[in-house]
Amino acid sequence: MQDLNKLWKIFKDKFTDTGLTKGAFSAPGRVNLIGEHTDYNDGFVLPMAIEKEIVMLGQLRNDRRVRVFDLGYNTEIDFSLDKLIPLRKNTWANYLMGVVDEIQKAGYILQGANLIFRSNIPRKAGLSSSAALEVVTALAMAELNSLKIEPVKMACLCQQAENNFVGVACGIMDQYVSCLGQKNYALFIDCRFNDYELISFKNHNYRIVICNSKIQRSLVNSEYNRRREECKRATDFFTHRLGSKIRALRDVTIEEFKQCQEYLPEPIARRARHVITENYRVQIGVQALRMGNYSALGQLMIESHQSLKDDYEVSCAELDLLVDLALKQEGVLGARMTGAGFGGCTVNLLKRDYVNTFKKRIKKEYKKITGINPDIYITLPAEGAKVLELR
């Protein structure tokens, strides 16, 4: 709370008090335990919110302007609710503008606002700092304007903002878990029906450890959109062969895939194999977690990485190295890249007692080979977006 007081002080220095509703809000980043590139195939994912978040403070204005100050980058932008056009510079603002655009397109009436935000989610690291920015903006604008938007609906609006305004054809996972995450639980999300089940991750003997490769590749967005198109081609092939019961790769069984695989061109066959087998891995992984079988989940994470590397081709040398180094350490049950890929982070499942040695060794060995100092974060599943204050 003391921290919040500091932020309010900065807020007061920046903006004159309008006398209208004010509030403070937060939304977390996420890490995905298993189920990569399955969400936009109507499939299954198992992410959790992490203990890193964006905090946003805001106050309504009497007009239709939105002024936003990003404390991390010390930059400010100003836009009108009536003129929402994507920016070429300060592209971070597109996440906010996209969200207000979608809220308005959904028929809600908004008033302008003054906003500031601060983030401790590393950017472009595959931990969904942009989804968190979308979600915290949606929550702030909804609450300040006294709109009741259900969390799943809010996640969908944020996803649409990214699809339509930012131009990345992302699935629902990141925004969903940032909205609905819960302390001590991973979310088993069915991305066809947009519903979920909470899967307990309370076992104090295990930890989730995230390793940031510090590699950021600019091709993420174009390669991501290309994978989506490849999945669409695979789906069309299966619908043609197996009939209209196939609406997405989620509907294809491993058996059906094996029967048709030779008729699929490359790389489409491998892309489809990744998605189809990954959906199975998520479902088996969830069963394993329900029974407290952490080593089974770890094994599935290892297989997931292999599949992302060889079949889906979204890993990179540094992520593969982090996984290889991790699997050589004591106490590691599983390791894989997490998020879209091409850089960013790996997620590791560890026995708690080995965390400190793991951290030291990975830092040393990764640095020795790449010259890069990786960042390592230890986290338990955290709570999703929330209102910290409203007055």
Q: Which residues are part of the catalytic machinery?
A: 174
Q: Select from 72, 177, 191 the least CA-distant residue to 132.
A: 177
**Binding of ligand GLA by 305 (CB under 6 A):** no
**Strands 185-190 and 44-60, bridge-based pairing:** antiparallel
**Binding of ligand GLA by 173 (CB under 6 A):** yes
**Binding of ligand GLA by 342 (CB under 6 A):** no
Which one of 42, 102, 174, 303 is in contact with ligand GLA (CB under 6 A)?
Answer: 174
Sign, CA dihedral 345-227-129-281, equals negative
Stretch that binds ligand GLA, among 106-114, 165-173, 351-359, 373-381 (CB under 6 A): 165-173
CA–CA distances in Å: residue 47 to residues 30, 114, 384? 7, 32, 12
**Binding of ligand GLA by 339 (CB under 6 A):** yes
**Binding of ligand GLA by 39 (CB under 6 A):** yes
Which one of 31, 286, 325, 340 is in contact with ligand GLA (CB under 6 A)?
Answer: 340
Residues of the chain by 3-state class (helix, strand, coil), percent to 5: 45, 25, 30
Which residues in the chain belong to E strands, given as ranges?
22-34, 44-60, 65-70, 75-80, 113-119, 185-190, 195-200, 206-212, 332-338, 345-351, 375-379, 386-390
C-beta closer to ligand GLA: residue 23 or 28: 28
C-beta closer to ligand GLA: residue 115 or 177: 177
C-beta closer to ligand GLA: residue 34 or 55: 34
Distance CA 159, CA 41 (A): 15
Stretch that binds ligand GLA, among 68-76, 99-107, 171-179, 249-257 (CB under 6 A): 171-179
**Binding of ligand GLA by 170 (CB under 6 A):** yes
* 207 contacts 352 by C-beta, under 8 angstroms: yes
C-beta closer to ligand GLA: residue 5 or 222: 222
Q: Select from 126, 74, 84 the least CA-distant residue to 105.
A: 84
C-beta closer to ligand GLA: residue 24 or 127: 127
Stretch that binds ligand GLA, among 166-174, 194-202, 237-245, 348-356 (CB under 6 A): 166-174
CA–CA distances in Å: residue 35 to residues 2, 187, 343, 362? 38, 11, 17, 25
247-276 binders of ligand GLA (CB under 6 A): none
C-beta closer to ligand GLA: residue 112 or 384: 384
Distance CA 95, CA 79 (A): 13
* Measured distance between the N- and C-terminal CA atoms of the chain, rounded to whole angstroms: 15
How many chain residues interact with ligand GLA (CB under 6 A)? 10
Which one of 37, 118, 214, 273 is in contact with ligand GLA (CB under 6 A)?
Answer: 37
Stretch that binds ligand GLA, among 36-44, 177-185, 279-287, 318-326 (CB under 6 A): 36-44
Which one of 11, 15, 25, 40 is in contact with ligand GLA (CB under 6 A)?
Answer: 40
**Residues at the site binding ligand GLA, with contacts judged by CB under 6 A:** 36-37, 39-40, 170-171, 173-174, 339-340
